[in-house]
A = this chain, B = another copy of it.
């Protein structure tokens, strides 16, 4: 990780000539935001320059310069990451893709869309909907860039039915560290044509190549969707219902869980009381929120009846139908507020997004909350019951930075060990970046990390792309 050069005035001039003066920022023109992502606990590192190219050709030209002079380049989209993945640890250039924000066109015969990587998820989703199409991946952070989503294989709410971002990438144009442009994948849905370099790039967090264009698969937008709240006595009872809901073939789009404490915090903070705290005189301990989407209301109605029957059998206090637009809006506003509420109520925050087998969710949550309590760290959690992806936050208002890092570090290490015991994944959708490197090594072992590092060297022998992340 040594041997990088500093950006000279001459090199900055060369970069500015490629992207235009106004798109090459240096010195005090660089906003502090470029020094970190949305999890500032992993530290702040100012780049020497930020450049905002407009297209593949400009990215290629920048990389030719940086390759020649061994300048580190950290790719950044909207900067909504949570693991320090786009933090320029070694200075150099932050290559921000947010000017590459064009939706390049739809192919309605083949149900696909071509986009630049700086298009925000929310903008793509809305634009596709206007054409009657759904872009299924739906991570909680809607303002993230599609390039970032692909680089972390973002998952989100609808993964239960539709899978993750990986499943929607058909082809990509990438720029290699040398500046060479390469097309990976093809705009078709089947491939058995050599090693899938494209699937290797997906989830590689900008360490192997820079994505400059993407072709994504879309699906017809289901004409109807309805959400249902099932309140339960406890998280154990709530999660117990999930396998049955999946097994009976209702095809739910999403199954989210929320414990009472986070619902209370959100309600207190936002005034949104859509989740009932008492049903028929019984205190609610946890909820699952199920969404069904189908071709028409009748189909949903038929499936909703089955859902209510299962809920009843398994101890749900009720099956509340959210059929009105205002109710739907309120429930998803509440769901979307959880992270904001956690962040606004806490001075220091760190997070995990482990994935465990669905039937291990209650045991894992109990363990995490117990370990948190032992270490004096406040724990908050919510997540995707349908796929076992848990968002667990370590929070504090009464600790110094160093003490928090120490204590939350103990909590994390214990939780990741438990995750390994349960045969889970370190991260479901946020990635490894800088913040979870040590946990990845522990989970995967030396050999797997050496293979990853070997692959990194094949793509990037000088180590100039996003150094210090994942396995390098």
A interface residues with partner B (beta carbon < 8 Å): 107-111, 132, 152-155, 159, 163-164, 166-167, 176, 180, 182, 184, 186-197, 199-200, 202-204, 208, 220-223, 243, 246-251, 295-296, 298-299, 302-303, 353, 355-359, 384, 387-389, 423-432, 440, 443-445, 447-449, 451-452, 454-459, 470-471
Contacts and interface: CB of A to CB of B under 8 A. Distances in A.
Given A190-B387, A193-B440, A195-B204, A110 B458 contact: no
Contact of A191 (B208, B247, B428, B456): B428
B447 A195 contact: no
Contact of A248 (B184, B220, B431): B220
A132 B249 CA distance: 10
A199 B200 contact: yes
7 contacts: A163-B163, A186-B424, A188-B428, A192-B427, A197-B448, A220-B248, A251-B295
Nearest to A359: B109
A220 B192 contact: no
Contacts of A152: 192
A55 B59 CA distance: 48
Given A163-B167, A192-B431, A195-B204, A357 B111 contact: no
A260 B176 CA distance: 47
Contacts of A250: 295
Nearest to A452: B195
Given A191-B203, A194-B471, A222-B249, 16 more contacts: A107-B357, A110-B357, A111-B243, A167-B167, A176-B447, A184-B448, A188-B388, A190-B387, A190-B429, A192-B203, A192-B431, A194-B452, A197-B451, A221-B249, A299-B299, A454-B458
How many monomers of this chain does the complex have? 2
A179 to B, nearest CB: 12
B425 A190 contact: yes
Contacts of A459: 451
A319 B247 CA distance: 32
Contacts of A470: 194-195
A242 to B, nearest CB: 8
Nearest to A420: B186
B243 A110 contact: yes
Contacts of A295: 249-251, 302-303
Nearest to A201: B195
Counting from the closest, the 3 A-B pairs by CB-CB distance are A454-B458, A190-B428, A220-B249
Contact of A186 (B180, B193, B355, B451): B355
A384 to B, nearest CB: 8
B223 A192 contact: no
Given A111-B247, A193-B443, A387 B200 contact: no
Contacts of A195: 200, 203-204, 208, 452, 455-456, 470-471
A143 B224 CA distance: 40
Choose among A159, A193, A220 the residue with the greatest number of B CB atoms under 10 Å from its CB.
A193
Contacts of A191: 153, 203, 355, 425, 427-428
Contact of A432 (B193, B424, B471): B193
Contact of A190 (B159, B184, B187): B159
B357 A188 contact: yes
Contacts of A432: 192-194
B190 A355 contact: yes
A208 B303 CA distance: 45
A424 B171 CA distance: 11
A148 to B, nearest CB: 11
B108 A243 contact: yes
Contact of A358 (B110, B154, B302): B110
Contact of A425 (B186, B355, B356): B186
A353 B153 CA distance: 29
Nearest to A132: B247
A125 to B, nearest CB: 17
Contacts of A358: 109-110
Contacts of A447: 176, 180, 182
Contacts of A246: 111, 220
Contacts of A208: 195
A302 B299 CA distance: 10
